[in-house]
A and B are shown apart, each in its own frame.
Chain A
């Protein structure tokens, strides 16, 4: 079955710096790769996603890249702000419709001002 590895497990940056979180997946059939943000005491919330027919997607300060050949995908946050501090999860789909997901173990991002 699908396995998703996520690195690093913790990341500390200064406000205004960029943050990069990387994930790898094992099943070449996976075709949908969302990223979720979890704030303390809450459930995860989708922040951006990418499908396998796209190499890069950007939404304001957040971008995701996908390398299907290498089975890598990454989240890039530019101009980080204290409110970006949270746990970030990558995920990969385990069915063709992208309905069900397997999540990485998460990255705790701390942005200090």
Chain B
């Protein structure tokens, strides 16, 4: 398996623009997680899905952020409108969803909002 796939790997955009980050989890995994990593705040859980259903989105910073998982093999994290403080590395991770299972992280998307 290719592991968790994220695209794009790097994104540079201007304040106010819409940004869409994409994730393909490992085949057969039924839990998917979105994280944001910054120097100041570390690795923050934004939202996670079980069987394509959002379970906990309490980590989503504000209404400008939204996430979807239309099927078991694809998820998006959208920021609209983007702001400079959204600059961070965004990771997607997936797990088999059974108890105490390892989360497998993608390579991340480095987002820079100018």
For chain B, the count of residues having a C-beta within 8 Å of the partner chain is 28
For chain A, the count of residues having a C-beta within 8 Å of the partner chain is 24
- Report how far A43 CA is from B97 CA in the complex, Å: 19
Restricting to B29-67, which residues have a CB under 8 Å from any CB of A? 31, 33, 35, 41-45, 48, 50, 55-56, 58
* CB-based A-B contact count at 8 angstroms: 59
Residues of B near A98 (CB, < 8 A) are: 99-101
- Report how far A4 CA is from B35 CA in the complex, Å: 16
Mostly, the A contact residues are loop
Contact A102–B100 (Cβ < 8 Å): no
- Report how far A29 CA is from B4 CA in the complex, Å: 30
Q: Which residues of A contact B (CB under 8 A)?
A: 1, 32, 34, 41-46, 49, 51, 89, 93-94, 97-106
Q: Which residues of B contact A (CB under 8 A)?
A: 4, 31, 33, 35, 41-45, 48, 50, 55-56, 58, 91, 93, 95, 97-103, 105-108
